[in-house]
Amino acid sequence: MSQIWQMTASEIASAVRLKKLSATEVTTAHFERLDAVNPKINAVVQDCRQDALQAARQVDETVARGEDPGALCGVPVTIKVNVDQEGYATTNGLRLLENQVAQHDSPVVSNIRKAGGVIVGRTNTPAFSLRWFTKNSLHGQTLNPRNKGITPGGSSGGAAAAVASGICAVAHGTDIAGSIRFPAYACGLHGLRPSLGRVPAYNASAAERYIGAQLMATSGPITRSISDIAISLTAMAAPDPRDPWYMPAPLSQQEFPKRAALVVAPDGMPVADDVRAALADAADKLRAAGWSVDEIDCPPMRPAADINACLWMAETQFGAKDLIRQEADPDAVFVFEQMMKTVGDIGLVDVMTALQARAGLVREWAVFLKDCPLVICPVSGELPFDQQLDVQSEDAFAKVFEAQLTQRALPVIGVPSLSVATGQSRGRPVGVQLIAPSYREDILLAAGFDLEAAGEPIQVAEPNWD
């Protein structure tokens, strides 16, 4: 018999709703799992035990009254430490923000609570949420529970490690350049970056973000099953008037042609043979499920990735440059310096030109996806990287940066994308990325279900090293 912490979110919600398990039992089991594995992997860096047990009791009381607590009925969830949760510090991995305690929940946290989710802890991120690796001078380094020698991804590395190790069934993550999709990939999980405005966002503890982050940053779920992605999105996407970018688009829309483009190496990016094999296998599985899949070119990604770097670094130079120096996190400083070498100083003309070019790219992708509503492409050009590879040398950083082309490009275009785990290669997780038109996460879920059904269920990792 499987342990409670091995159950998916959908299984937990159903069991609690039917009174086969209590939310209190579920929460207690997940804290026992946290106590067993978190000291090894350092995924959860703020413990929400007392609040979680109180929330679980409230779910049980709601069920006892014959009412439905919501889509995440009793499901243990973690929140990334760069998002406001009342009573906890929004550190973003910084010593400078160690005491910045939120007075209000962000919309995504509020929505998770309203859907019956039980927040069990807050997960680690690199300093400034700036890397595809997870280590900082405040909370330390997070290890990948499937293989401690490789990155758990970043910046939502703690989130993915928590789900992979059974600390929670659903993890909240944020994504401005792959920070949901790559950790899911690295930890052998599924991760959804929703469309711009699909999940409401706002941190009252901080100043309003600049235009780059407003256009590119999103929150979304990391899970062990596609059905869990679906119910998590339903919960997270509830309306909230605090986000002016929020779009109340229906989660399920009209029928669509089951037509997909297989794009193995967008814009000529280097792609490892293991990744190519995973893409070919995913295409075959979709064909077997009734999809028409052709290997064709998609609209450009490299110009979109360049725009991402421009807007990201303009925001960093203008709003965070002094903070980076004050924090003096060695890895963040190195990455910032490499990014500066890549894009140079960004001025007003650069930002205006980038925004102008973005409109054309968004249009080109919208036209393409109208006729071909699914794209299959790499999550990364490489298998998950060795721990700390990006700060080993300038050449290593450049290799990592190039491998993440699709991670950097898609946030500029604003379309939803789903990282789907498909197995392992040479002892490392591997998967594929799916892209759909704006606000058509339902297409991603349909394809994700087909891939999942043709593969093996994702198992909880056991970090059993000494």
SS3 track for 68-95 = CCCCCCCCEEEEECCCCCCCCECCCCCH
Give residue 145's pLDDT: 98
**Cβ contact 163:169 at 8 Å:** yes
- The share of the chain scoring above pLDDT 70, in percent, equals 100
pLDDT, mean of residues 388-392: 98
pLDDT at 2: 78
- pLDDT of 143 reads 98
Going by the DSSP 8-state scheme, the letter that residue 150 receives in this structure is: B
Beta bridge partners of 433: 377, 419
Query: How do residues 283-296 score in pLDDT, each as one tens digit?
Result: 999 999 999 999 99
Give the mean model confidence (pLDDT) for residues 9-17.
98
- Please compute the mean of the pLDDT values over residues 73-78 and round it to a whole number: 99
Average pLDDT over residues 239-252: 96
**What's the average model confidence in pLDDT over 276-287?**
98
Q: What confidence score (pLDDT) does residue 159 get?
A: 99
Task: With a cut of 60, say whether residue 1 has pLDDT above it.
Answer: no
CA–CA dist 16, 9 (Å, integer): 11
Give the pairing type, strands 170-175 and 76-80.
parallel
308: pLDDT strictly greater than 80: yes
Pinpoint the alpha helices (H) of 328-347.
330-343
Mean pLDDT of 270-280: 98
Per-residue pLDDT band at 362 (split at 50, 70, 90)? very high
What percent of the chain is modeled with pLDDT above 90?
A: 95
Q: Which residue has the higher pLDDT, 141 or 2?
A: 141
Cis, peptide link before residue 155, omega less than 30° from 0: yes
Residues 6+ apart with CB under 8 A from 132: 151, 153, 154, 155, 178, 179, 182, 385, 390, 400, 404, 407
pLDDT computed for residue 394 by the predictor: 97
- Per-residue model confidence (pLDDT) at position 449: 98
DSSP state for residue 426 in the 8-state scheme = T
pTM: 0.98
Report domain extents, the chain. 4-453
Confidence band, pLDDT 50/70/90 cuts, at residue 348? very high
> Tokens 């483009």 appear where?
261
Report the pLDDT value the prediction gives residue 345, as an integer from 0 to 100.
87
CB 161 within 8 A of CB 212: no
Read off the pLDDT of residues 112-157 as tens digits, 9 standing for 90 and up. Answer: 999 999 999 999 999 999 999 999 999 999 999 999 999 999 999 9
Report the chain's C-alpha Rg in angstroms: 20
* Mean pLDDT on 333-359: 94
Q: Average pLDDT in the 407-417 region? A: 98
Class of the CATH-defined domain 4-453? alpha beta
User: Taking the C-alpha atoms of 325, 331, 337 and 339 in order, what is their torsion angle to the nearest 10 degrees?
Assistant: -120
Interatomic CA distance for residues 255 and 252, integer angstroms: 9
Q: Which amino acid is at 452?
A: E
Pair 99, 36: CB distance under 8 Å: no
User: Using CA atoms, how far apart are residues 311 and 323, in angstroms rounded to an integer?
Assistant: 18
Q: Mean pLDDT across the stretch 11-39?
A: 98
* Residue-level pLDDT at 318: 78
- The catalytic residues are 80, 155, 179
| pLDDT band of 319, cuts 50, 70, 90 | confident
Residues 6+ away with beta carbon under 8 Å from 411: 175, 176, 177, 193, 215, 216, 217, 218, 308
Q: What is the pLDDT of residue 465?
A: 86
- Mean pLDDT value across the chain: 97
The whole-number pLDDT of residue 315 equals 84
pLDDT digits (tens, 9 = 90+) for 426-455: 999 999 999 999 999 999 999 999 999 999
